[in-house]
Amino acid sequence: MGYGKGKGKVRDEFLDYCISRVDPEDRGSLRQNLLPLSRLLATRLRYKDGFLRKMGIEMDQEGWTDLGQVLALDDFSRWTSMDVREVVQEAPKAPLFAACVAGILAGYVVLRRWWWSRKLPPGSMGWPLLGETLSYVSGQEEFIAARLLKYGGTFKSNVLFVPTVFLAVTESNAKLIHSKRDLGWPAHFKKVMGETSVPMVNDPLHKRLRNTSTRAFTNQQLDLYLPVLHKLSAKYLKEWAAQGTSEPRDVYFQIKKYAFECGQAVILGSAVTESELDHFMHLFDTAIAGLGCVLPVDLPGFPFHTCMSARRQLGQECQKVIQRRREALQASPQPTCMLDAMLGSEEGTSDHELQDFCVSMTFAGHDTTLASIHTTLRWLKQCPELAAGLRAEVDEIWDGSAPITRGLLESIPKTRAFIQEVWRKTPPVSPIVRNLAEDQEVDGFVVPKGWNLSYYPARQFSKADDWDEFRPSRHLDEEGQFIDSTHEATLFESFGGGSRMCIGYKFARDEMLTFLMVFLKHYDMSLASSTHTPFPFNFYRLEGSFCERARTEGGA
Ligand code: HEM
């Protein structure tokens, strides 16, 4: 019997033979000892030197020999159970076991790498761990467009510490990414945002929570929010204009507070007081900083602990509001805010889920609109002729004091087209991402389970004509009616798509339109500078000051 041949057979023969040689009462324990040993060694055993010499078996320098030699020995049949036990005791079980496992694992890793490297799209994975993250965060659009061009379409990279395949901009790839449902956020994101928050969870929890949350975004609910948005736009713009100075200043925090209050008033209701609002904003900002913690350890002394303490407090504050809204709904069942719509849900949403709803909607809705308002004002100031056209459109349909209604928002197609062009040209969130729950074939490549797929109709790869031109009229038809491109996935992907599409996109549009109507009707801004900030939200940060429109244009 040759060395290395018929290992299974050799093993079985050896085992059976040994067993047949020992006392019947010893057989159970001998089998127990021999089985793992023979499985691991297959055809090789290590013998005590003296024993092997006595048997006349040759060894290599390290004291190994061939089991075939042992079985071929004539006098093997004369081995006693003691001889067999000696063999068993001398066999080096543990080191060999470890060596075998390590060898198998190393082989597996090498083979898997080799196999995937043949199937993966082209591209560079960058530095170990860091990948190409730095180039990515310094300009996602440029990063993606440059590589789509270089690799002729779909390419791989490693960004934000996750191996990622960026998809070529095609209808089929847009469909593919929209058909995927899973997001692969780091575990600490979930702690910060809430274990039951819609943007963090995957199916089946995602499906249930998302279904319940859509109650807050029905057309009927959205109409309820318009007076709140109108009131807050009027209040803040008036305040900013009153503070107006000839000295330009960073308007980021002014606009942030406006966007935050709009979110809170619509999510939690107008019962939130001014001091509660400031407290909420502080807690919220401290908690959200946890997303960027490199060491997400929730123990005293770690920065993440401070963030999580704020997050726990935020949950408690939300709970107080939930209680208040419950009582208010008992007195008058008419819903006034998103939380009311959730409380009216028949599907039994727990208080914990309600708290996470409030936090996650604030997160998803407030920085995105904050970024959009900055960028809209920047484009307005860049394009004075377009701005004049929009003012004329608003002047024509609104006296500046009547309530802003759905009807009014729908009669300003140029303004709607303007906002859509702002979102096409400078999308606040980009690109959209899904995590793969199983291996996926894409454009003839295979992307392994656990990787991210990313899709973004960047620059010249967008299907927009003259993609670099800021031209709102592209969103108007021949009769001047607004063309909604929200679902045109090769042109416009600012709100994503499929079962994870932005749940608040209609509300975001209402907020932008309401703000813009009040601004265009009554106010103006002198812009000193605008600085492009690509990450984490893509927008232009502004320096300037607000003033009443009459001062620059001689009256509206
Ligand atoms: C200009 C404003 C906004 C932009 C550009 C924006 C953009 C996005 C994008 C790109 C996504 C991911 C979509 C996908 O992966 O397919 C998303 C998801 C989401 N957005 Fe928005 N969003 C905005 C405003 C809002 C507002 C105001 C709310 C709520 C009040 C909101 C709530 C959400 C939620 C809950 C998700 C997660 C949906 C899910 O995972 O099922 N967003 N948003």
Phi and psi angles of residue 364, each rounded to the nearest 5 degrees, phi first: -70, -25
Is 264 within a domain? yes
- Mark whether 244 and 364 lie in a shared domain: yes
Q: In the numeric block, which tokens belong to residue 361?
A: 């909607």
Residue 518 burial by CB count (10 A; 0-12/13-18/19+): exposed, middle or buried? Answer: buried
The set of residues, in sequence order, having a beta carbon less than 8 Å from that of 303 and lying 6+ positions away, is 289, 293, 295
The interface predicted TM-score (ipTM) is 0.99
Determine the residue type at 539. Answer: F
The CATH number covering residue 449 comes to 1.10.630.10
The residue among 116 and 383 whose pLDDT is bigger is 383
pTM score, whole prediction? 0.80
497 lines ligand 1 (CB under 6 A): yes
Radius of gyration of the chain (CA): 34
What are the start-end ranges of the H helices in 66-132? Answer: 67-72, 81-90, 93-119
Q: What is the number of the ligand 1 atom nearest to the C-alpha of 177?
A: 16
Is 169 within a domain? no
Terminal C-alpha separation, the chain: 103
Continuous segment of H or E residues that includes residue 476: none
- Mark whether 521 and 412 lie in a shared domain: yes
- Mark whether 212 and 315 lie in a shared domain: yes
- Mark whether 67 and 201 lie in a shared domain: no
Last residue of a domain, one of 80, 97, 114: 97
By most ligand atoms within 8 Å of CB, the mutation choice from 502, 510, 511 for ligand 1 is: 502
- Mark whether 278 and 418 lie in a shared domain: yes
Q: For residue 504, report the distance from its CA to the centre of ligand 1, in Å.
A: 6
CA separation for the pair 308, 191 (Å, rounded): 8
Number of domains in the chain: 2
The set of residues, in sequence order, having a beta carbon less than 8 Å from that of 176 and lying 6+ positions away, is 167, 440, 442, 453
CA separation for the pair 121, 351 (Å, rounded): 46
365 lines ligand 1 (CB under 6 A): yes
Q: What is the number of the ligand 1 atom nearest to the C-alpha of 511?
A: 27
- Mark whether 230 and 335 lie in a shared domain: yes
- Mark whether 192 and 72 lie in a shared domain: no
Residue count (the chain): 556
Q: What is the number of the ligand 1 atom nearest to the C-alpha of 267?
A: 30
Cross-sheet strand order for the sheet of 523-533: 249-250, 539-548, 523-533
Q: For residue 196, report the distance from its CA to the centre of ligand 1, in Å.
A: 16
pLDDT band at residue 390 under the 50/70/90 scheme: very high
- Mark whether 332 and 431 lie in a shared domain: yes
CA separation for the pair 194, 198 (Å, rounded): 9
Is residue 553 over pLDDT 60?
no
Is 281 within a domain? yes
431 lines ligand 1 (CB under 6 A): no
Residues 501-528: tens digit of each pLDDT: 999 999 999 999 999 999 999 999 999 9
Q: In the numeric block, which tokens belong to residue 463?
A: 């299907």
Last residue of a domain, one of 97, 125, 151: 97
Nearest to 210 by CA among 413, 499, 439: 499
Is 350 within a domain? yes
Nearest CA to ligand 1 atom 19: 502
By most ligand atoms within 8 Å of CB, the mutation choice from 495, 499, 511, 512 for ligand 1 is: 495
- Mark whether 216 and 69 lie in a shared domain: no
Is 381 within a domain? yes
Q: In the numeric block, which tokens belong to residue 51?
A: 């024993």
Q: For residue 162, report the distance from its CA to the centre of ligand 1, in Å.
A: 22
Phi and psi angles of residue 387, each rounded to the nearest 5 degrees, phi first: -60, -40
Last residue of a domain, one of 97, 119, 138: 97
Is residue 421 over pLDDT 80?
yes
CA separation for the pair 154, 482 (Å, rounded): 33
Provide the annotated binding site: 502
30 lines ligand 1 (CB under 6 A): no
Continuous segment of H or E residues that includes residue 509: helix 505-522
CA separation for the pair 430, 453 (Å, rounded): 13
Is residue 183 over pLDDT 60?
yes
- DSSP reduced 3-state for 155: strand
Nearest CA to ligand 1 atom 7: 495
Q: Find where tokens 């504050």 sit.
A: 317
Average pLDDT, the chain: 86
By most ligand atoms within 8 Å of CB, the mutation choice from 213, 258, 261, 368 for ligand 1 is: 368
Q: In the numeric block, which tokens belong to residue 105?
A: 């694992």
- DSSP reduced 3-state for 297: coil
| Cβ–Cβ < 8 Å for 472, 383 | no
CA separation for the pair 332, 115 (Å, rounded): 64
502 lines ligand 1 (CB under 6 A): yes
| Cβ–Cβ < 8 Å for 105, 99 | no
Q: What is the number of the ligand 1 atom nearest to the C-alpha of 434?
A: 15
b/e 268-290 (16+ beta carbons within 10 angstroms → b): bbeebeeeebeebbebbebbbeb
Nearest CA to ligand 1 atom 27: 365
Provide the annotated binding site for heme: 502
pLDDT band at residue 429 under the 50/70/90 scheme: very high
- Looking at residue 6, what is its pLDDT? 45
Mean pLDDT, residues 365-369: 94
Is 222 within a domain? yes
- Mark whether 92 and 237 lie in a shared domain: no
Is 123 within a domain? no
- DSSP reduced 3-state for 293: coil
- Mark whether 82 and 214 lie in a shared domain: no
Q: For residue 407, report the distance from its CA to the centre of ligand 1, in Å.
A: 25
Nearest to 182 by CA among 436, 373, 498, 353: 436
Is 521 within a domain? yes
Domain encompassing residue 211: 187-553
- Mark whether 82 and 217 lie in a shared domain: no
| Cβ–Cβ < 8 Å for 453, 433 | yes
- Looking at residue 99, what is its pLDDT? 74
- Looking at residue 23, what is its pLDDT? 56
Residues 133-150: tens digit of each pLDDT: 999 999 999 999 999 999
